[in-house]
DNA sequence: CGACTCCTTATGTGTAGACATAATAAACAT
DNA sequence: ATGTTTATTATGTCTACACATAAGGAGTCG
């Protein structure tokens, strides 16, 4: 039966790769494809699902990116024994994070100074001896309550404009992402004991555990900035999936 | 040799979507496509790059998933003003995390008990009044040194097998991922003050800041387990990109 | 002016077909 | 037995083409 234009009628009866994905995920999580199962080949599956191999390939690839499948040439597609658990945090600018909760964002510059980089900073960022840095302390408020204390160092060698820039009205982060948008970044999450600065500006007692995010960024192998974001009491960073 | 198979000579001269991606990313980060730029349409780009639109589409889609591009039908493809910063952590089983560093993994069950769920746990996980839970304390070692203290609660109502299971030889996590592999998960990162248990088993003084990961999991809307993973002094969770 | 319709356009996705490549398995030689 | 080559096979990717869909913009009408 030589095929005639499949284009004839309207409504897609084609199986979309999203439908295929959903079905595959369901078969893995609830259905017959338990951990360790070796799936049939793409060609066979495509036939069974009534779609082209291209579509099946895309579906399998994306399910695999979700962490459920392990694919290898020749070896085939296998359901992982345990799915890869991945926590993915989008790190918006503080302003966006606060405004998303419906709160009013507030900003205040606490202190600003140009200093010679201290030893630990030089080692951490790979700065030259006697390199000058801009050191800023800033506060971010949610509905008038201190939400985050930003302790930032900017390498004046790499970004001399930072020396002239005025940070009293808006934070250095917004200026930096506009100035050096595509930098290499290293992010760390850690717990720190509250120091004097955090006690003074956040709702902490000296030595309290503080959840901190540290972000170091480089641009073309030159250190740009190092920032530690200290959060208010009880802050937790959460993701669900 | 009659056959002219193009495989004979040079490497494929087809432009692969990875090459295209690399070029696009470079044009964004270093080249002429600064933040806000509206890119030419897929057809035009494909022609310029000497590839098919399919390939260009894939390249653009993946670059967009990296957070550099914003794509909308009809509106076109635009370079984001600031790339979406995303921290992505793969959360392997502790054993794998430790062995990846080359250290020898060690495990020890500290305590095990079946108790009625305390109030806060009932609220946190949505358990019924007087629900029974298994409460475990376990230690994970790297080269003999305590690395992580696992404080785990398992809902015996949803997983009665947990009552019989023996956790003296291997941790509850490995048993759980094998038993309930595909659960819904909520992960939080937070800073906590060291309590008596952490002081006893990790290298902490009372009240020290401890970096903790809390993971709650459900399966088909029933609470399965809640675990708090307390880390050793100075631990930080890092990602780079 | 404002709200509505319709057209256009760029991306989104599906299909068939072909070749590329990695990795296993089988055949072979040492 | 062991190491090496060769064949096989499942996934990976490219191509050309077609239709689907969202959304901007022009034109229309009250």
* pLDDT tops 60 at residue B2: no
Q: Do residue B187 and residue A87 have CB atoms under 8 angstroms apart?
A: yes
Domains and their CATH numbers in chain A: 17-79 (1.10.10.10), 94-231 (3.40.1410.10)
State pLDDT tens for residues B48-62. 999 999 999 999 999
Is residue B20 very low, low, confident or very high in pLDDT (cuts 50, 70, 90)?
Answer: very high
Are residues A81 and B181 in contact, defined by beta-carbon separation less than 8 angstroms?
yes
Residue A158, CB-side half-sphere exposure with 13 Å CA sphere: 21
3-class secondary structure, B23: helix
3-class secondary structure, A48: helix
One pLDDT digit (tens) per residue for chain A, 241 residues? 333 333 333 344 566 999 999 999 999 998 899 999 999 999 999 999 999 999 999 999 999 999 999 999 999 999 999 888 888 888 878 898 898 889 999 999 999 999 999 999 999 999 999 999 999 999 999 999 999 999 999 999 999 999 999 999 999 999 998 899 888 999 999 999 999 999 999 999 999 999 999 999 999 889 999 999 999 999 999 998 8
- Helix and strand numbers, DSSP H then E, in chain B: 8, 10
The pLDDT value given to residue A14: 61
The two structure tokens encoding residue B48: 């310029």
Q: Find the length of chain B.
A: 241
- E strand intervals along chain A: 69-72, 76-79, 86-90, 105-116, 132-142, 145-155, 184-193, 209-219, 222-231, 236-240
Is residue B178 very low, low, confident or very high in pLDDT (cuts 50, 70, 90)?
Answer: confident
Q: Which residue has the higher pLDDT, B7 or A135?
A: A135
The nearest CA of chain B is from the CA of A1 a distance in Å of 30
Are residues A153 and A207 in contact, defined by beta-carbon separation less than 8 angstroms?
no
Q: How many Cβ atoms are within 10 Å of A23's Cβ, its own excluded?
A: 15
The nearest CA of chain A is from the CA of B201 a distance in Å of 18
Contacting A residues, span 98-157, partner chain B, CB-CB under 8 Å = none
Q: What is the residue-averaged pLDDT of chain A? A: 91
Residue with tokens 């819904």, as numbered in its chain = B184
Between the CA of A52 and the C1' of C13, what is the distance in angstroms?
A: 12
Mutate to test the interface with A, among B87, B199, B213, B228 (most CBs of A within 10 A): B87
Chain D: nucleotides under 7 Å from a protein CB?
8-24
Contacting B residues, span 30-69, partner chain A, CB-CB under 8 Å = 30, 34-35, 68
Between the CA of B84 and the C1' of C3, what is the distance in angstroms?
A: 37
The pLDDT value given to residue A13: 52
Q: How far apart are CA A100 and CA A85, in angstroms?
A: 26
Q: How many Cβ atoms are within 10 Å of A17's Cβ, its own excluded?
A: 21
Q: CB contact, 8 Å: B86 with chain A?
A: yes
Residue with tokens 């641009």, as numbered in its chain = A219
State pLDDT tens for residues B195-222. 999 999 999 999 999 999 999 999 988 9
Chain B nearest-CA residue for A233:
B191
Verify if strand C has an atom below 7 Å from the CB of A128: no
* pLDDT tops 60 at residue B191: yes
């Amino acid at each position: 039966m030589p095929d005639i234009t499949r284009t004839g009628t309207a409504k897609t009866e084609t199986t979309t790769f999203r439908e295929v994905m959903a079905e595959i995920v369901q078969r893995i999580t609830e259905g017959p494809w338990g951990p360790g199962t070796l799936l049939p080949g793409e060609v066979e599956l495509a036939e069974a699902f009534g779609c082209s191999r291209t579509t099946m390939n895309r579906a399998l690839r994306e399910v695999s990116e979700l962490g459920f499948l392990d694919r290898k040439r020749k070896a085939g597609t296998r359901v992982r024994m345990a799915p890869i658990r991945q926590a993915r945090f989008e790190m918006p600018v503080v302003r966006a994070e606060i405004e998303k909760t419906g709160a009013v964002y507030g900003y205040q510059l606490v202190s600003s100074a140009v200093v010679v980089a201290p030893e630990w900073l030089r080692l951490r960022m790979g700065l030259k001896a006697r390199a000058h840095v801009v050191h800023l302390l800033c506060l971010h408020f949610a509905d008038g309550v201190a939400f985050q204390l930003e302790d930032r160092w900017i390498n004046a060698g790499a970004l001399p404009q930072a020396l002239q820039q005025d940070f009293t009205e808006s934070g250095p982060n917004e200026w930096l992402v506009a100035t050096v948008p595509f930098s290499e970044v290293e992010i760390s999450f850690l717990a720190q004991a509250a120091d004097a600065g955090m006690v003074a500006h956040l709702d902490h007692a000296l030595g309290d555990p503080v959840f901190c995010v540290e972000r170091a960024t480089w641009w073309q192998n030159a250190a740009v900035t190092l920032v530690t974001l200290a959060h208010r009491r009880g802050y937790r960073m959460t993701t669900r999936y």
